[in-house]
Amino acid sequence: MKRLIDIAVALIALLLLSPLLVAAALAIVIESGAPVFFRQVRIGLGGREFGMYKFRSMVKNAAAIGSWQTSAGDARITRAGRILRRTSIDELPQLINVLKGDMSLIGPRPDVPAQRALYGEAEWTERCSVRPGITGLAQALLRSEGTQAERLAMDLRYAREHNLRLDLQIAVWTLGRLTGKGSN
């Protein structure tokens, strides 16, 4: 059931948001040229690696000149990228990952391989027991304000407690954050 919802919502969202997606792509090209997308290796269901898509919000050689983590004032982020990140528009290409089956709409954010070291073996297995999502419990409740430990705890909580009701609640919280109406 969840997979069918993911596919239907992703298809509808891509169609409805296509003007916004085109505008974002044009802003990137005008400011810093192609490519428009950034593909990063992430870890998915069962510990399988996949390429996660985002709109490119940083300079072209960002990975060569800095860490996989970014900070608020990171000089690698472009002007258009700041807007795309602030509004979460940079995440919209992940709807393609949802259609491909790499991701779900709701689930823990997919980790980069380097984050494997943050987990014990049992925690990692539990973390990888669910499909990662575009948004999850940590993003809905904490956004970027949470500590690494808080986000990890929420990801593991989701893996233990996931169900359709929780997914709907996370979707409501996420939409509240995106529209400025809070998280609860």
pLDDT tens-digit series, residues 61-94 = 776 676 656 666 777 888 898 889 888 899 999 9
CB 166 within 8 A of CB 158: yes
Between 58 and 49, the more confident residue is: 49
CA 79, 85, 87, 91 torsion: positive or negative? positive
Residue 184 pLDDT class (50, 70, 90 cuts): very low
Instruction: Give the mean pLDDT of 141-159.
Output: 87
Residue 183 pLDDT: 44
User: Does residue 51 have a pLDDT over 60?
Assistant: yes
Residue 142 pLDDT class (50, 70, 90 cuts): confident
181 contact partners, CB below 8 Å, separation of at least 6: 175
Compute CA 128 distance to the chain's CA centroid, rounded to the nearest angstrom: 16
29 contact partners, CB below 8 Å, separation of at least 6: 36
Residue 54 pLDDT: 94
Q: Cα(180)–Cα(171) distance, rounded to whole angstroms?
A: 14
